[in-house]
Amino acid sequence: MISPYAASELRPLFVRSDKRRKQLLEHAETLPSVTLTSAAAANAVMLGAGYFSPLGGYMHLADALSVAETMHTTDGLFWPVPVLNIVARVDGLASGDTVALRDPNVDGAPVLAVMELENIEEVSANQLFHMAQHIFGTTDMAHPGMAVFLDQGAYVLSGPIQVLNFSYYDQDFPDTFVTAYDLRDQIESRGWNKVVAFQTRNPMHLAHEELCRMALERLDADGLVIHMLLGKLKPGDIPADVRDACIRKMVDTYFPENTALVNGYGFDMLYAGPREAVLHAVFRQNMGASHLIVGRDHAGVGDYYGPFDAQSIFDQVPDGALEIEIFAADHTAWSKKLKKVVMMREVEDHTPDDYIFLSGTKVREMLSEGIAPPVEFSRPEVSKILMQHYQQSA
């Protein structure tokens, strides 16, 4: 199996000893506490689950600035996106404290992790904007990732953490949320060596399904991991439980047994396009995938990124930094001429009229009205689940 990123073994920060975890939870109730932002809580979950290995905790300001500007920490580790804990207030906190980090996404804000507070650093609005401009590739405040990043606070808390639970993810998605270390075990138990990962924050249409098959066949891979984001999205995106149901129905109906795993991870969507694609590659290597499908406008939103910017950014990855490889995919669509899903760059004598295209707006309108999209666009079993969601939400 592929090695974890930048280390000989995975370094999850979750306290796996039940006894030690109970002791820390009891001790945390006596400590000064900070309620995290949703973004910082998601970072803690990813650190705990091993997806952000080999990081040992939240970055300090110098590392965050360096990562934003150069995709390297100050000590030279290649990393595409700052992993931060930014807060609005630091009353009663001091460097050297042990601090309880509380979860904003669970009722009662229970303790999510315990942190050794190495640094409390004030971050200016200009520094935050500078980082955001590099991360998101824009200065447009309408970008959903920009708005979230810039609205977290004015103080950076850095230091190592010990993670004590996985927020709401393992409770709300017990069959889907999986840590990187457990996923590596699942892959190994199946005897898979060459493994393709497919990232999604949406239900999978027929073109996505066929793209996964293309990658499996062309790479002669042993298996596929459909790895869905389970955290917070922008308004209008399909909720995670609906996506989960759609994807599982598709896999159970149309994929042979022992060829595809359906799993999810606990992270809030950044909508950072190219930078987020590289982050996806880092944590897919940590979970045991040898290849990541990177398609058109991977992790993008609106018109902020070029259609293949998320592929070309991998040219900036230093040689030897990543062991995982990219399966660079073109836009896929149903060809009326060939009667199948194709990568558009691979077929000749096609005009736009030779493909079936449906905009997201058009699809939502159809589903809301109880009209199933054509079978060349979406599996009927998937469309049925989506129609029920849209009609209930109307």
pTM of the model: 0.95
What is the reported pLDDT for 168?
96
> Which one of 2.60.120.260, 3.10.129.10, 3.40.190.290, 3.40.50.620 gives the CATH number of domain 174-393?
3.40.50.620
Give Dmax over CA atoms of the chain in angstroms: 70
Tokens 């849209």 label which residue?
Answer: 390
101 in Cβ contact with 114 (< 8 Å): yes
What is the reported pLDDT for 238?
87
SS (H, E, C) 278-338: HHHHHHHHHHCCCEEEECCCCCCCCCCCCCCHHHHHHHHCCCCCCCCEEEECCCEEEECCC
Tokens 């010990």 label which residue?
Answer: 162
What is the reported pLDDT for 234?
80
Beta bridge partners of 382: none
- Which residue ranges of the chain lie beneath pLDDT 50? none
What is the reported pLDDT for 394?
66
CA torsion, points 162, 167, 173, 179, in degrees to nearest 10? -10
pLDDT digits (tens, 9 = 90+) for 7-49: 999 999 999 999 999 999 999 999 999 999 999 999 999 999 9
**Residue 202: active-site member:** yes
Selecting among 201, 243, 275, 296, the annotated active-site residue is: 201
Q: 10 Å Cβ neighbour count for 35?
A: 16
Reference 163, options 266, 280, 46; nearest CA is: 46
Dihedrals phi, psi of 162, to nearest 5 degrees: -120, 120
Q: 10 Å Cβ neighbour count for 387?
A: 18
Side chain identity at 176, as an amino acid letter?
T
Dihedrals phi, psi of 139, to nearest 5 degrees: -110, 5
The answer for 162, left when phi > 0, alpha when psi is -120 to 50, beta otherwise, is beta
What is the reported pLDDT for 16?
97
First to last CA, the chain: 46
**Residue 201: active-site member:** yes
- For residues 222 and 229, give the distance between their C-alpha atoms in angstroms, rounded to a whole number: 23
User: Would 18-170 and 174-393 be classified into the same CATH topology?
Assistant: no
Side chain identity at 258, as an amino acid letter?
N
68 in Cβ contact with 134 (< 8 Å): yes
| Pair of tokens at residue 253 | 């109906």
Question: What is the DSSP track for 231-266?
Answer: S---TTSPPHHHHHHHHHHHHHHHS-TTSEEEEEE-
Selecting among 193, 202, 213, 248, the annotated active-site residue is: 202
What is the reported pLDDT for 357?
86
Domain boundaries, the chain: 18-170, 174-393
- Helix 125-136 with 61-70: angle, nearest 10 deg: 40
**Does 3.10.400.10 match the CATH number of domain 18-170?**
yes
Pairing of strands 33-35, 195-200: unpaired
